[in-house]
């Protein structure tokens, strides 16, 4: 077994342990292997290890890796500029980082032009850090109301990034995103399911799973430093 496969197996084992601890089915949690700065040989090993969901932060890297590995699901997880939307729409299985109404509207327009329905997550800045992108929690309802009238965008859930700190110190961030999602479930919105919670990275994914993550975005813990 190669190094990537061994680390992936260890991550899946930790996901399963965290899910079991809170009475969840580990199969309900997707591991998205984030390939930022990762080369083709490591991605090839990851595919051979059974990984089917990959995430990329940069558009040029996303396009190149998508072209080399078109048979896996590629997620766009980084900051997306509106002038790059056309390159990602229709290629990304899911865009995790919709951090503004302007970006949501651009994705709707470009997806309509491409004749596709693009799945997205709304990025929410739960921690309130000025350095982090995302909608303020109080603005999510407005975005969902607008999204419910769109024909070429499908909002499937929410995403957040926690501050760099010990896992227990950021548990509240994941809990608040889940609680926000649960409160929004009562809204009668066409085409908005909010099934997905993308939260947790290499340093804190176990806590995120315990708080309800359905997707964890893992780079270092799979590919090494």
For residues 121 and 131, what is the distance between their CA atoms, to the nearest angstrom? 20
Task: Give the rounded percent of residues in the chain with a pLDDT score beyond 70.
Answer: 99
Report the pLDDT value the prediction gives residue 140, as an integer from 0 to 100.
95
Q: Within 13 Å of residue 36, how many CA atoms lie on the same side as its CB? A: 16
Report the pLDDT value the prediction gives residue 186, as an integer from 0 to 100.
77
Task: Work out the end-to-end distance of the chain between its first and last CA atoms, rounded to an integer number of angstroms.
Answer: 19
- Residue 1, pLDDT > 90, answer no
- Residue 167, pLDDT > 90, answer no
For residues 128 and 131, what is the distance between their CA atoms, to the nearest angstrom? 9
Domains and CATH numbers, the chain: 3-223 (3.20.20.10)
Q: Mean pLDDT throughout 33-45? A: 96
Between 108 and 163, residue with greater pLDDT: 108
pLDDT tens per residue across span 54-97: 999 999 999 999 999 999 999 999 999 999 999 999 999 999 99
User: Using 50, 70 and 90 to split pLDDT, how confident is the model at 191?
Assistant: low
Work out the mean pLDDT of the chain and round it to a whole number.
94
SS3 for 187? coil
- Residue 197, pLDDT > 90, answer yes
Q: What predicted TM-score, i.e. pTM, was given to this entire model?
A: 0.95
Report the pLDDT value the prediction gives residue 128, as an integer from 0 to 100.
80
pLDDT tens per residue across span 130-154: 778 899 999 999 999 999 999 999 9
Report the pLDDT value the prediction gives residue 54, as an integer from 0 to 100.
98
The mean-pLDDT minimum among 11-15, 113-117, 122-126, 161-165 falls in 161-165
Query: Residue 216 gets which letter from DSSP?
Result: E
């Amino acid at each position: 077994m190669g190094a990537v496969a061994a680390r992936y197996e260890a991550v899946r084992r930790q996901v399963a342990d965290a899910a079991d601890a809170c009475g969840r089915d580990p199969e309900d949690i997707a591991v998205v292997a984030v390939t930022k700065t990762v080369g083709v040989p490591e991605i090839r090993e990851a595919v051979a290890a059974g990984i089917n969901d990959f995430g990329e932060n940069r558009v040029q890297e996303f396009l190149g890796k998508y072209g080399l590995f078109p048979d896996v699901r590629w997620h766009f997880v980084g900051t997306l500029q509106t002038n790059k939307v056309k390159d990602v729409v229709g290629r990304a299985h899911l865009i995790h980082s919709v951090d503004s109404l302007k970006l949501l509207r651009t994705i709707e327009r470009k997806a309509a032009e491409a004749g596709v329905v693009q799945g997205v997550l709304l990025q929410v800045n739960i921690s309130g850090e000025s350095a982090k992108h995302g909608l303020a929690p109080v603005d999510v309802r407005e975005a969902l109301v607008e999204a419910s009238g769109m024909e070429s965008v499908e909002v499937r859930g929410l995403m957040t990034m926690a501050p760099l700190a010990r896992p227990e110190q950021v548990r509240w961030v994941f809990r608040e995103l889940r609680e926000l999602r649960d409160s929004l479930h009562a809204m009668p919105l066409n085409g908005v399911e909010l099934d997905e919670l993308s939260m947790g990275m290499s340093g804190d994914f176990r806590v995120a799973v315990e708080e309800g993550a359905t997707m964890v975005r893992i780079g270092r813990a799979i590919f090494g430093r």
